[in-house]
Amino acid sequence: MPAATQVVKCSRCGAANRIDPARAGAVCGRCKSPLVAQTQPLVVTDGTFASEVERSPVPVLVDFWAAWCGPCRVVAPILDQLASELSGRIRIAKLDVDANQMTASRFRVQSIPTMIVFQNGREADRIVGAQSREAILQRLKGFM
């Protein structure tokens, strides 16, 4: 997949579409509904984790976080920026561990923030603790 493209799921029919986020007016190839490129982290839950992360056609960095966590709040703007910059190459997702304890437990998240990179549905890398933008980006370079 070229670096400029992003896979976007149609909100109407659910079809996966490859689009260029820089071009306006993208429509779903199946139902012709307008598509919007994702430039913010995707919020995932216990119920959506499999479809949004484990079946993603591109690698996904999942930030396991909580609202009360100070280091999580430090990392959040960094991940917001990376979601926009890496659009189409790596998806950035966020999972609130307090509201989604089943998934956090499944991946043995014991401290937050924990960022896990999933590739082809499997854990490929784990970053524990608040990290700088450069450190996170360096870990992600191997997946782009």
Catalytic annotation, pick one of 10, 13, 31, 72: 72
Please name the amino acid found at residue 8: V
Q: Does the structural domain 1-37 have CATH classification 2.60.40?
A: no
Whole-angstrom distance, CA of residue 115 vs CA of residue 94: 9
Q: Give the dihedral sign, CA 11/143/106/79.
A: negative
pLDDT at 118: 97
Whole-angstrom distance, CA of residue 103 vs CA of residue 83: 22
pLDDT at 12: 72
pLDDT at 39: 75
Strand partners, 93: 42, 62
pLDDT at 26: 84
13 is catalytic: no
Number of H helices, E strands in the chain: 4, 7
Structure pTM?
Answer: 0.78
pLDDT in tens, the chain (144 residues): 445 577 777 767 778 888 876 677 788 889 988 876 667 899 999 999 999 999 988 899 999 999 999 999 999 999 999 988 887 788 999 999 999 999 999 999 999 999 999 999 999 999 999 999 999 999 999 998
Q: What tokens were used for 78?
A: 């960094």
Contacts 24+ apart (CB under 8 A), 33-36: 35/8, 35/10, 36/8
Q: Which residue has the tokens 């109407």?
A: 12
Architecture of domain 42-143: 3-Layer(aba) Sandwich (3.40)
pLDDT at 37: 67
69 is catalytic: yes
Domain ranges of the chain: 1-37, 42-143
